């Protein structure tokens, strides 16, 4: 009888050649096929295509996902893994994942969320059933500070001999990243204080700002819902009064809700929740699911929730 | 009616129960049974039990504008005394047959749309013909408002021609409890398990949840699927993302006119 090992094996795989990425993916997939282990491969579309071609029809226990969609908002990736776990819960097998969330040219706020996501994975899956997660990073294309961040968030490094302990791993990196305030806006933002009785005015401001910026109505509705949920969280848990800030940053439109409360549950909003339960964090889960990019930070200084939309994308 | 009055007392509103004298006791007794010191509440002025003929005068003297003005003064008086608003639960059955009743209800509804005023108007179905009931429903919204001197958006819950209810306006944290309470009231009154959302301007997660719970309750009562009609696309998206498809499996979404 096979003994299940619990916990996450979170491995960093640094590559410098595209062919190395394809090769390691194929090797992992074939091994998983032999061991009858379900695999989710989440890569950018060009990489997915190359891996599929190399497999030439390959094993049937693999799900492929376009990371640009699944991980558009990196705060959604952990819940996607939970969903994958749920789909294979009855198999009682180790789960294998390959996920490349950072690629050359990805905007820095998105990359910052990838770092936080990688760090929080170590917490989210610490007590999961056996889960091997391999995270490729393109060391030839990404800036050195990006690679440094990647080294801090992965307890293992996958090299030619297999996974080995990573001395640069920082176990508390998730907390350090979560508690560090986001960079200040590059321009003077518009600001408005609000409380329970002015939630309607806050929504008017958000809605008008989004529409004036040229955002399509459906995306404006999503932003409005997300900002309102963050604002209601502030009113309920953040001291009753809070601050809305909004600004343009390049092609991005950014809304921020800031209050003096503190989020103690670092995984709030990242774990799927049963709709029948009225647990805290449910609103934040919806914020993450509905937002193209949501950034949450909280520490002794208070809480920030930023919702970003790219006006150039559709 | 007693639950409606109790909610107002809990919310810091001045509560007025208006009904024929024979219908006063059951409501006051019901309030007492749920732990309210009715005599003390009446003594303090927080609760008033008024005979309907004292409020609405005789048939010949029924003057809708003046009647509504009476309530407006009562709202102002309640607010100036520190209440968060006025809540009136009225059994209007004795008013049935009065020529200006529909106009009066419309005026009362308009007053409610701009005041910290919540009213529940009851009519005895046994003595109210379908035509009159439909007419009253067409002008009769159960509205709820932010209490206090400054309040923002309103929402409405009112009956629809096909016997269901329609929700309109904005629902957020401020009106969350009122929504839940009114949906319970509405659930007892509807004759068709249909909730029209075509005029829904905004609903936060707690409101979507309240609607899901109400729909499930309605389905359990009627044994039928509940139709959510003309829901905005963002509402459907939230419904799906939050997992309400599984929570309320008897809910179906439909678009377009009722068939």
Residue B108 pLDDT > 90: no
Report phi then psi at A273, rounded to 5. Answer: -125, 145
Q: Determine the distance in angstroms separating the CA of B243 from the nearest CA of chain A, rounded to an integer.
A: 5
- Residue A200 with chain B: CB contacts under 8 Å: 152-153, 170, 172, 174
> Which residues of A fall within a CB distance of 8 Å from B206?
232
Q: Over 50: is that where the pLDDT of A281 sits?
A: yes
Report the pLDDT value the prediction gives residue B106, as an integer from 0 to 100.
61
Please tell me the distance in Å from A96's CA to the nearest CA on chain B. Answer: 25
* Close Cβ partners of B72 (under 8 Å, ≥ 6 residues apart): B111, B115
Report d(CA B75, CA B81) in Å as an integer. 10
pLDDT for position B80: 92
Compute the mean pLDDT over every residue in chain A, rounded to the nearest whole number. 92
Pairing between β-strand A293-299 and β-strand A302-310 as defined by DSSP bridges: antiparallel
Q: How confident is the model at residue B103 (pLDDT cuts 50, 70, 90)?
A: low
Quick check: helix, strand or coil at residue A154?
A: coil
pLDDT at B188: 64
Chain A residues whose beta carbon lies within 8 Å of the beta carbon of residue B213: none
Confidence of residue A272 (pLDDT cuts 50, 70, 90): confident
The b-or-e profile of A123-137 (16+ CB within 10 A means b, else e) is bbbeebbbbbbbbbb
Judged by CB atoms closer than 8 Å, whether chains meet at A225 and B241 is answered as: no
Question: Which of A218, A232, A286 lies at the smallest CB-CB distance from B233?
Answer: A218
Residue B19, pLDDT above cutoff 60? yes
CB-nearest partner of A232 from B151, B173, B241:
B173
Query: Which residues in chain B have Cβ-Cβ distances shorter than 8 Å to A275?
Result: 209, 212, 242-244, 246-247
Would you state the pLDDT for residue B3?
Answer: 84
With beta carbons under 8 A apart, name residues in chain B contacting A205. none
Angle subtended by helix axes A282-290 and B233-241, to nearest 10: 120
Q: Is the pLDDT of residue B147 over 60?
A: no
Assess whether pLDDT exceeds 60 at residue A144: yes
Under the banding of pLDDT at 50, 70 and 90, the label for residue B4 is confident
Indicate whether B152 pLDDT > 70: no
Among candidate residues A225, A8, A42, A239, the one with its CA nearest the CA of residue A130: A8
Q: What percent of chain B has pLDDT over 90?
A: 38
Which chain A residues have a beta carbon less than 8 Å from that of B212?
Answer: 275
Q: Do A274 and B150 touch (CB under 8 A)?
A: no
Q: What is the pLDDT of residue A149?
A: 96
The per-residue pLDDT for range A205-214, each reduced to its tens digit, is 999 999 999 9
Reported ipTM: the value is 0.90
- List, for residues B50-63, the tens digit of each pLDDT value: 988 888 877 677 88
Q: Which of A129-138, A296-305, B116-125 has the lowest mean pLDDT?
A: B116-125
For residue A10, with 0-12 CB atoms within 10 Å meaning exposed, 13-18 middle and 19 or more buried, which class applies? buried
Computed on alpha carbons and rounded to an integer, the radius of gyration of chain B in Å comes to: 19
Cβ <8 Å between A290 and B243 = no
Distance from CA of B185 to the nearest CA of A (A): 22
pLDDT tens digits for B189-216?
566 788 999 999 999 999 999 999 989 9
Of A90-99, B3-12, B45-54, B128-137, the least confident? B128-137
* Per-residue model confidence as pLDDT tens digits over A37-83: 999 999 999 999 999 999 887 677 899 999 999 999 999 999 999 99
* B93-105 mean pLDDT: 80
With bands split at pLDDT 50, 70 and 90, how would you rate the model's confidence at A128? confident
Render B1-45 in DSSP notation, one character per residue: -HHHHHHHHHTT-EEEEEE-HHHHHHHHHHHHHTT--HHHHHHHT
What is the model's pLDDT at position B145? 37
pLDDT grade for B127, boundaries at 50, 70 and 90: confident
pLDDT band at B72 (very low <50, low <70, confident <90, very high): confident
- The strand ranges marked E within chain A are 8-15, 39-43, 62-66, 95-99, 131-138, 156-159, 162-165, 190-194, 242-249, 252-259, 293-299, 302-310
Interface contact flag, A283 B242, Cβ < 8 Å: no
Which tokens in the block code for residue B4?
A: 């409606």
Compute the distance between CA of residue B205 and CA of residue A231 in angstroms, rounded to an integer. Answer: 12
pLDDT in tens, A153-183: 999 999 988 899 999 999 999 999 999 999 9
Cα gap B157→A313, rounded to integer Å: 38
Are the Cβ atoms of B204 and A200 closer than 8 angstroms? no
Per-residue model confidence (pLDDT) at position A175: 96
Q: Looking at residue B113, what is its pLDDT?
A: 56
Residues of B with CB under 8 A from a CB of A: 146, 148, 150-153, 170, 172-174, 202, 204-206, 209, 212, 232-234, 237-238, 241-244, 246-247
Per-residue pLDDT, A5: 46
Predicted local confidence at residue B73, as pLDDT:
92
Structure confidence at residue B132 as a pLDDT band (50, 70, 90): confident
Please state whether the predicted TM-score (pTM) of the whole model is above 0.90.
Answer: no
- The beta-carbon neighbor of B173 closest among A196, A221, A224 is A196
- For residue B180, name the pLDDT band (cuts at 50, 70, 90): confident
Q: What is the pLDDT of residue A23?
A: 95
Q: What is the pLDDT of residue B153?
A: 40
């Amino acid at each position: 009888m096979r003994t299940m090992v619990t916990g996450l094996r979170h491995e960093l795989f640094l590559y410098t050649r595209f062919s190395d990425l394809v090769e390691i993916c194929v090797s992992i997939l074939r091994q998983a096929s032999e061991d009858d282990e379900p695999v989710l491969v989440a890569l950018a579309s060009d990489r997915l295509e190359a891996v599929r071609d190399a497999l030439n029809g390959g094993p049937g226990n693999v799900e492929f996902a376009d990371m640009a969609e699944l991980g558009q908002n990196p705060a959604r990736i952990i819940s996607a893994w939970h969903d994958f776990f749920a789909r294979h819960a009855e198999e009682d097998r180790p789960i294998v994942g390959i996920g490349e969330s950072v690629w050359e040219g990805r905007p820095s706020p998105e990359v910052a969320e990838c770092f936080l996501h990688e760090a929080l994975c170590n917490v989210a899956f610490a007590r999961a059933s056996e889960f091997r997660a391999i995270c490729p990073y393109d060391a030839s294309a990404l800036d050195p500070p990006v690679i440094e961040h990647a080294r801090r968030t992965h307890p293992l490094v996958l090299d030619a001999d297999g996974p080995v302990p990573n001395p640069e791993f920082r176990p508390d990196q998730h907390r350090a990243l979560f508690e560090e305030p986001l960079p200040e806006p590059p321009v003077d933002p518009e600001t408005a204080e609000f409380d329970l009785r002015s939630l309607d005015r806050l929504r008017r401001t958000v809605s008008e700002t989004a529409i004036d910026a040229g955002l399509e109505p459906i995306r404006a509705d999503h932003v409005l819902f997300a900002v309102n949920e963050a604002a209601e969280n502030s009113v309920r848990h953040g001291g009753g009064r809070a601050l809305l800030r909004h600004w343009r940053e390049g092609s991005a439109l950014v809304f921020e809700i800031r209050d003096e409360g503190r989020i103690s549950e670092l995984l709030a909003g990242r774990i799927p929740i049963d709709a029948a339960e009225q647990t805290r964090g449910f609103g934040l889960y919806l914020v993450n699911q509905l937002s193209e990019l949501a950034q949450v930070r909280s520490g002794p200084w208070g809480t920030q929730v930023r919702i970003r939309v790219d006006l150039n994308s559709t | 009616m007693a639950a409606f009055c109790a909610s107002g007392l809990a919310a810091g509103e001045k509560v007025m129960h208006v009904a024929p004298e024979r219908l006063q006791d059951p409501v006051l007794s019901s309030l007492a049974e749920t732990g309210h010191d009715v005599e003390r509440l009446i003594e303090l002025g927080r609760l008033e039990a008024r005979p309907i003929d004292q409020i609405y005068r005789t048939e010949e003297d029924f003057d809708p504008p003046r009647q509504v003005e009476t309530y407006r003064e009562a709202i102002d008086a309640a607010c100036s005394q520190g209440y968060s608003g006025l809540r009136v639960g009225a059994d209007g059955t004795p008013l049935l047959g009065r020529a200006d009743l529909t106009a009066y209800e419309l005026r009362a509804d308009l007053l409610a749309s701009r005041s910290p005023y919540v009213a529940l108007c009851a009519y005895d179905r046994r003595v109210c013909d379908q035509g009159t009931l439909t007419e009253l429903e067409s002008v009769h919204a159960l509205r709820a408002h932010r209490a206090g001197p400054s309040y923002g958006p309103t929402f409405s819950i009112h009956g629809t021609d096909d016997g269901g209810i329609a929700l309109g306006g904005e629902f957020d944290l401020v009106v969350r409890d009122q929504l839940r309470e009114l949906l319970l009231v509405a659930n007892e009154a509807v004759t068709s398990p249909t909730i029209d959302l075509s005029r829904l301007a905004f609903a936060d997660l707690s409101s979507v949840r309240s609607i899901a719970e109400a729909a499930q309750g309605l389905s359990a009562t009627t044994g039928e699927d509940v139709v959510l009609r003309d829901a905005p696309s963002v509402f459907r998206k939230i419904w799906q993302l939050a997992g309400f498809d599984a929570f309320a499996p008897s809910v179906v979404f439909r678009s377009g006119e009722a068939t």
